[in-house]
Amino acid sequence: MGVSLAHPEPGIAVITVDYPPVNALPAAGWYALAERLRAAGADPEIRCAVLAAAGRGFNAGVDLKELQRDDGHRALLAVNHGCAEAFSAVYDCAVPVVAAVQGFCLGGGVGLVGNADAVVAAEGATFGLPELDRGALGAATHLARLVPGHLLRTLFFTARTISAQELLRHGAVWRVVPEEQLGAAALALAREIAAKDGTLLRLAKAALNGIDPVDVHRSYRYEQGFTFEANLAGLGDRHRRAFIEKREGDAP
């Protein structure tokens, strides 16, 4: 369990998240992910990074049980900062980042994927922000990088998910493949990118970030302020508790 960093081929780093059962990360997990991504970008031999996950889903967001175990605000602040660090590490990684997504990609998962440079998805993968149902806000900044504005608002207000095939039609996903081919497809794209000149790739990544119309760091931190406001109003705790109780009640 944790976040691993591997080098399966020259010039390519693979960062894999493995937090069973659903890859819902505690605050420490978000920081560990940020650390691995920064390490990959800092390695002069690396020209492309792949962000992947073990298990049946890419990411289920934050570990809500960790938040509920804290009577104060320390856990919420820790996970807020941890998410911001991980999302920023994807975006600021000195080399291109390819996200390989299977199963569910929810909440913080959208934050990671929305900040990636390219996305390869497995058939059946779904993406969404169930934040309103969890008493929180956030990552609309990153969903906005995947879908048009009005669709973003509809998805956010309804907490609905969108399929990988739909994102492919919107141009947000590079390829959709059978799940057993996901790793190979992500590596194939990474290999094609890594074949380029490493210095030019790093310059290109910095240049593309520099011309982005939205400052993703400032935008996400602005959203997080409303999450904290909802928590102070008691909404966060109420909705998280209801979700956890329902999930435990549905368990066999």
Give the pLDDT of residue 195: 98
pLDDT in tens, the chain (252 residues): 899 999 999 999 999 999 999 999 999 999 999 999 999 999 999 999 999 999 999 999 998 888 788 677 888 889 999 999 999 999 999 999 999 999 999 999 999 999 999 999 999 999 999 999 988 899 999 999 999 999 999 999 999 999 999 999 999 999 999 999 999 999 999 999 999 999 999 999 999 999 999 999 999 999 999 988 988 888 888 888 887 777 666 654
Interacting residues of 235 by C-beta distance below 8 A, sequence separation 6+? 135
Give the pLDDT of residue 64: 84
Q: Following DSSP, what letter does each residue of 103-149 receive, concatenated? A: SEEETHHHHHHHTSSEEEEETT-EEE--GGGGT----HHHHTTTS-H
| Contact present, 214 and 144 (Cβ < 8 Å) | yes
Give the pLDDT of residue 252: 47
Task: Tell me which residue has tokens 């996970």.
Answer: 79
Mark residue 124 as left, alpha or beta (left: phi above 0; alpha: psi -120 to 50; beta: remaining): left
The domains of the chain, with CATH numbers, are 2-179+198-250 (3.90.226.10)
Q: What is the DSSP letter of 25?
A: B
Q: Following DSSP, what letter does each residue of 147-175 receive, concatenated? A: S-HHHHHHHHHHT-EEEHHHHHHTT--SE
